[in-house]
Amino acid sequence: MKTTDTRTQILDTAQELIQKVGLNAMSYADISAAVGIRKASIHYHFPTKDNLVAALLDRHSPCFFRFCDAILDSPESPEVKLRHYCGLFEATLSSGKQDKACLYGMLGAEMKTLNSPLISQVVQFYRDNQTRLVQLLQQGRETGDFKFPGNVESMAMVIFSMLEGGLLITRADGGVAQFREMVEQLIQVVKG
């Protein structure tokens, strides 16, 4: 009995490839070779690359935000919550050979080659992250744990940008240890 159906294997493989090499460098031939099926089988499930990417985003975003919301709703201190949130990005880098970036970060880098509905999904992911970060930062300001200068919305953008960019930079040079150092420096800035 198969433990994973073909559609899920295709999605898993496509996500891993996009996180490693980007959407434009990934092909159905790459997925075919990795999964051990014909390209026609991939086209059966996902007639176009846009269909495949839309399915990936529809699957990934709700899962990611369940983790985020669980962090926000936890009784832990705002600093611990921020560390857990940053840990979601570290987990991406830590997986495999430490050569993966965020799925949405890789797609954002190729934004000009995406079709409009996919662009909207990527932009919404960014906005949803920033909204949650604003909530977390406001909690920290209310408790006195966070004393950073400036407004909360700008700091949320700084944090999200640092995490997305940090994945790209540290996967090229420094790996998880370097990423952790960046996060630690960020936490110190946020704490004031």
Tell which wins on pLDDT, 116 or 154: 154
Contacts 24+ apart (CB under 8 A), 148-155: 148/189, 148/190, 148/191, 148/192, 149/192, 155/190
Closest CA to 156 of 173, 170, 178, 141: 141
Distance CA 123, CA 120 (A): 5
| In contact, 100 and 16? CB cutoff 8 Å | yes
- Give me the mean pLDDT over the 108-128 stretch: 95
| Domain ranges across the chain | 57-191
- Give me the mean pLDDT over the 46-62 stretch: 96
pLDDT digit string, tens, across residues 125-138:
999 999 999 999 99
CATH of 57-191, picked from 1.10.357.10, 1.10.1270.20, 3.40.50.300, 3.70.10.10, is 1.10.357.10
Residue 43 has pLDDT above 90, yes or no: yes
Buried b (16+ CB within 10 A) or exposed e, 40-52: ebbeebbeebeeb
Buried b (16+ CB within 10 A) or exposed e, 2-17: eeeeeeebbbbbbbbb
Band the pLDDT of 3: cuts 50, 70, 90. Answer: low
pTM equals 0.93
Band the pLDDT of 1: cuts 50, 70, 90. Answer: very low
- Give me the mean pLDDT over the 80-92 stretch: 97
